Amino acid sequence: MKSIVLATTNEGKRKELETLLAGAATVYSLRDYPDCPEIEETGETFVANARIKAEYVAEYTGLPALADDSGLAVDALEGAPGVYSARFAGENKDDEKNNEKLLRSLAEVPREERTARFICALVYKDPNGDSIEVEGTCEGEIASEPKGTNGFGYDPLMYIPELQKTLAELSSEEKNHISHRSKALQKLKEAWGRSGS
């Protein structure tokens, strides 16, 4: 089985990716490399930021690295917060403040115009230089108030009309069934299968 380092400092992502990779890889994370410096995300797209993180961590650890850059694109906000999702309400990455700011930004927007999607770009980078880049999305609507306690980030506000629940009201198995992250990871596994790795 291959060994992979998850190039993320986000515990919510780490847990989901570890579950989704169970049986496919031995998974390490930046928790195993506490001295790894913070990586600046200077890209303008999710995939560009994921590439920066994967390349840095593959070089730093000498192991294949998997980076996830993700976020929320809200149609009524012309795609914001997008690549700035983690820092929407400020540099200190506060989920609660981000959610409050999102609700404030959409206060005047009626339900039918609150469509949004989560986007997840995954970049897998081998120390020998090979890389695989995939993306997955999850469509929903921004609710008028937070609901549910599972998941992380904007999950309490991301309402999935087909399920009549927010992502935070789903179990981790249910979220992993429909999430942007699981769809991207499925594509990565298919690419691994094609390349025989």
Ligand X SMILES: O=c1[nH]c(=O)c2ncn([C@@H]3O[C@H](COP(=O)(O)OP(=O)(O)OP(=O)(O)O)[C@@H](O)[C@H]3O)c2[nH]1
CA–CA distance, 64 with 43 (Å, rounded to integer): 21
Could you say which of ligand X, Mg ion, none residue 114 binds, taking C-beta under 5 to 8 angstroms by partner kind?
Answer: none
- Which amino acid would we find at residue 136? G
Could you say which of ligand X, Mg ion, none residue 140 binds, taking C-beta under 5 to 8 angstroms by partner kind?
Answer: none
- Window 79-118: residues binding ligand X (CB under 6 A): 85-86, 98, 118
* Residue from 29, 153, 182, 188 binding ligand X (CB under 6 A): 153
Site of tokens 């409050």: 100
Residue 38 CA, chain-centre distance (Å), reads 17
* Residue from 155, 160, 166, 169 binding ligand X (CB under 6 A): 155
Nearer to Mg ion, 86 or 116 (CB): 86
Could you say which of Mg ion, ligand X, none residue 146 binds, taking C-beta under 5 to 8 angstroms by partner kind?
Answer: none
Answer yes or no: is 71 a known binding residue: no
Residues 6+ apart with CB under 8 A from 82: 71, 72, 73
Please give the full DSSP string across 7-56, using - where no structure is assigned.
Answer: ----HHHHHHHHHHHTTTEEEEEGGG-TTPPPPP---SSHHHHHHHHHHH
Answer yes or no: is 40 a known binding residue: yes
Residue 36 CA, chain-centre distance (Å), reads 20
CA–CA distance, 5 with 150 (Å, rounded to integer): 25
In a 13 Å sphere around the CA of 17, the CA atoms on its Cβ side amount to 30
Answer yes or no: is 152 a known binding residue: yes
Nearer to ligand X, 25 or 53 (CB): 53
Answer yes or no: is 154 a known binding residue: yes
Q: Which two tokens stand for residue 164?
A: 């009549």
Give the footprint of Mg ion on this chain (CB under 5 A).
Answer: 86
Q: How far is the CB of 110 from ligand X (least distance, A)?
A: 22
144 lines the binding site for ligand X (CB under 6 A): no
Q: How far is the CB of 88 from ligand X (least distance, A)?
A: 7
Q: How far is the CB of 59 from ligand X (least distance, A)?
A: 16
Q: How far is the CB of 71 from Mg ion (least distance, A)?
A: 9
The dihedral through the CA atoms of 68, 104, 113, 162 has a sign that is positive
The footprint of ligand X (CB under 6 A) covers 8-10, 13, 41, 68-72, 85-86, 98, 118, 151-155, 158, 179, 181
